[in-house]
Amino acid sequence: MSNNIPITKKNFDTLTEYGISFQIKTVAVLLKNYNFLEQIHDIITPNFYDSDAMKWIVKIIIEHYMAYRIAPTMEVFKIELDREIENKIMKESIIEKLRSIYNNFGSTDLEYVQNNFLNFVKNQVMKQAVLDAVTIIEKGNYDELRPMLDKALRAGSEQNIGIMWKEKEYFIRRVGETLRSPVATPWDVLNEIMDGGLGSGELGIVVAPGGIGKCVGEDTEIEIEYEQRLKQEKIKISDLFNRLNISDKENVQFVPNFYLKVKTPYGYKNIKNLFRTEKQQSVRCYFGNNKTLECGLDHRFKVNGEWTKVKDIKINNGIIETESGLTYLKKIHYGKEKVLYDISVEDVNCYYSNGILSHNSWMLVAIANHAVKQLGKNVIYYTMELSGDSVGLRHDARTSGFASQDIKFHQDEVFEGISKVRGNLVIKEFPTKNASIDTLRTHLMRCTTFGFKPDMVIVDYPDLLKTQVNYSKVEKRFELENIYEDTRGLAGEFKIPLWAASQANRCHILTDKVNTKDGEIEIGNVKIGTEILTHQGMKKIKYVSSIIKQPVYKIKTKLGKEIIISANHEIPTLYKKLKSISTGLKSGDKIFIKKHKK
């Protein structure tokens, strides 16, 4: 400990009056908050604490920081405990205190504890300075008085003023190859654009409309189960969308909050999402069993036991799985660009469409699995939507090459393959809207403490995190913005690449107004179930898209009406044609507006 401002045992107070719980939380703050430890390490002493166990823990923290400029991990405590402490009772007491300290990493009052602890320590330093000042005055050494008091006043101030540009240490660091340490994705074209992959402290967001790359045409027949297993029926996917009153526009998603399942090779499974895609190239596939299926070029079928995109399947070559047996692809007919349909299925990621086994996929799993399997990295995968086991099965499938639903038939082979993978994966499941960024931060620190230091983090997905602030209905528009800012901060704090996912949608700005039965309200305040005025009368809102930042454009009519929208937002024009700025909406086009009663 620094001798610039000595604190002798007889001159300082202890933390006794605050209680043992407060003392434990002060140590949790020291271990959790590197900046605070840097700020306060030279003005704290183990003697502030009551028990010998707490004094020993604080001593190790100070000594380790002075030697390595970082807080000790659990592994460090274990080694030092075995090296220094022989008394069994003392060892058990230290272990118990360490357990309590780490269990308090997620306490909601740590900021309050930190502020009060800092004030306490600064007061002790000032008290010591005043006592020393008496001695200095008595000796007449007045020149020493001001520097000594200045040091006391600066005690506990932040010590890191930033990067010293002219220092060689920082120059070498910023030009060195290890500064960014990118982790590559499975796709070369993306790695080239991103200069090798996602770097330390960077946040990557996978943003895409639902349904792209895994979709079928409107006449595709699926078999559903509803009303708590009471009814089953075959239905065209377009009829199902119409029955659920899902908009017929592009890039629309619907999340059912009721019992609705689709037939798969392993029984009926929950439908998690239904969506219409953006316009894309459609093809009609003709099979050897006289079945046909309209779909996109990236739609996948199970061919020779592996999921394969339509565009990669060879004609008359390859066995394709169907509901009634096996078949093959006879030919492909290219159609027009059109909006297609798809559903996201829980657990098995596949379903029967026109009797052909179809697949839906996950990009974040591909990124994480590539890092673990191919690059030998340690990855933490946070899931707020799917169960941890479901995510684990996807990684099993990605690693082994077997479909997730077939893994139970090849358990020994799959596990042997998993055991040989160089990297490792921690999957942590949190209930929707139960975990916050602080929850993830605490878990990351706990993993590091127990020896699992992540090279990459996946958050699936930030929209389902909760914020520390309880936003009112009026302020809901700021919630997602703050979540993503905090997610970016988490990546920077731990200096690791962090991938997350979100969805892009057509949208208004949040201050645009819509008409309801109770008058006009801003779009930022609408919610599922609100009835708004449409060209077909009052209709209920079925889905509210995530809020994202993107370029916006202002449209102004001859009558002076204005609306601010994104490039992909479609507006009805003359002859019932929908147009967006990205598809050619321009000055002079006639659009529909609400008529005012005379």
Range list of H helices, 450-590 = 479-494
Contact 180, 200 (CB under 8 A): yes
Structure confidence at residue 537 (pLDDT): 63
Distance CA 56, CA 90 (A): 10
Q: Which tens digits make up the pLDDT trace of 34-73?
A: 888 888 888 899 999 999 999 999 999 999 998 888 889 8
Contact 456, 124 (CB under 8 A): no
Q: Is the pLDDT of residue 463 over 90?
A: no
Closest to 477 (Cα-Cα) out of 377, 547, 407, 375: 547
Structure confidence at residue 26 (pLDDT): 95
Q: Which tens digits make up the pLDDT trace of 126-158?
A: 888 888 888 888 888 878 877 777 777 777 666
Helix (H) / strand (E) containing 429? strand 424-429
Partners of 276 in the β-ladder: 252, 341
Running DSSP on this structure, what letter comes out for residue 196? T
Distance CA 299, CA 312 (A): 10
What amino acid is encoded at 212 in this protein?
A: I
Q: Which tens digits make up the pLDDT trace of 160-185?
A: 566 667 677 666 656 654 556 788 88
Structure confidence at residue 22 (pLDDT): 94
Strands (DSSP E) found in 259-349: 260-264, 267-276, 280-287, 292-296, 300-303, 306-309, 320-321, 326-327, 329-338, 341-345
pLDDT band at residue 89 under the 50/70/90 scheme: very high
**Measured torsion, CA atoms of residues 116, 121, 123, 126, in degrees rounded to the nearest 10:** -160
Distance CA 95, CA 589 (A): 74
β-pairing, 280-287 with 424-429? unpaired
Helix (H) / strand (E) containing 400? helix 388-400
How far is residue 312 from each of residues 138, 308, 326, 422, measured CA to CA in Å? 91, 7, 18, 30
Contact 344, 273 (CB under 8 A): yes
Q: 209-223, 452-466, 521-535 — which one is most confidently predicted on average?
A: 452-466
pLDDT band at residue 578 under the 50/70/90 scheme: low
Distance CA 224, CA 18 (A): 62
Round the average pLDDT of the chain to a whole number and report it.
80
Distance CA 419, CA 76 (A): 28
* Cis, bond preceding 461 (omega within 30 deg of 0): yes
Q: Is the pLDDT of residue 373 over 60?
A: yes
Q: Which tens digits make up the pLDDT trace of 272-283?
A: 778 888 788 899
Contact 298, 287 (CB under 8 A): no
Instruction: Report, in angstroms and rounded to the nearest whole number, the Rg of the chain calculated over CA atoms.
Output: 31
Structure confidence at residue 508 (pLDDT): 54
What would the two tokens of residue 1 be?
A: 């400990």
CA angle 73, 76, 80 (to 5 degrees): 145
Model pTM score = 0.52
What amino acid is encoded at 251 in this protein?
A: N
N-term to C-term CA, the chain: 82
Q: 202-206, 287-291, 390-394 — which one is most confidently predicted on average?
A: 287-291
How far is residue 137 from each of residues 10, 106, 131, 141, measured CA to CA in Å? 21, 48, 10, 6
Q: Is the pLDDT of residue 8 over 50?
A: no
Place of tokens 């430890």: 37
How far is residue 286 from each of residues 310, 334, 348, 354, 559, measured CA to CA in Å? 11, 11, 25, 11, 53
Q: Is the pLDDT of residue 194 over 80?
A: no
Q: Which tens digits make up the pLDDT trace of 13-40?
A: 788 889 999 999 999 999 988 888 888 8
Comparing 10-14, 78-82, 339-343, 415-419, the range with the smallest average pLDDT is 10-14
How far is residue 153 from each of residues 113, 130, 157, measured CA to CA in Å? 21, 11, 9
How far is residue 540 from each of residues 269, 463, 531, 536, measured CA to CA in Å? 27, 23, 4, 11
Domains and CATH numbers, the chain: 9-154 (1.10.860), 221-359 (2.170.16.10), 363-502 (3.40.50.300), 513-583 (no CATH)
What would the two tokens of residue 221 be?
A: 């027949």
Mean of pLDDT values over 567-593: 72
Mean of pLDDT values over 274-299: 88
Contacts 24+ apart (CB under 8 A), 81-87: 84/56, 85/56
Partners of 350 in the β-ladder: 359
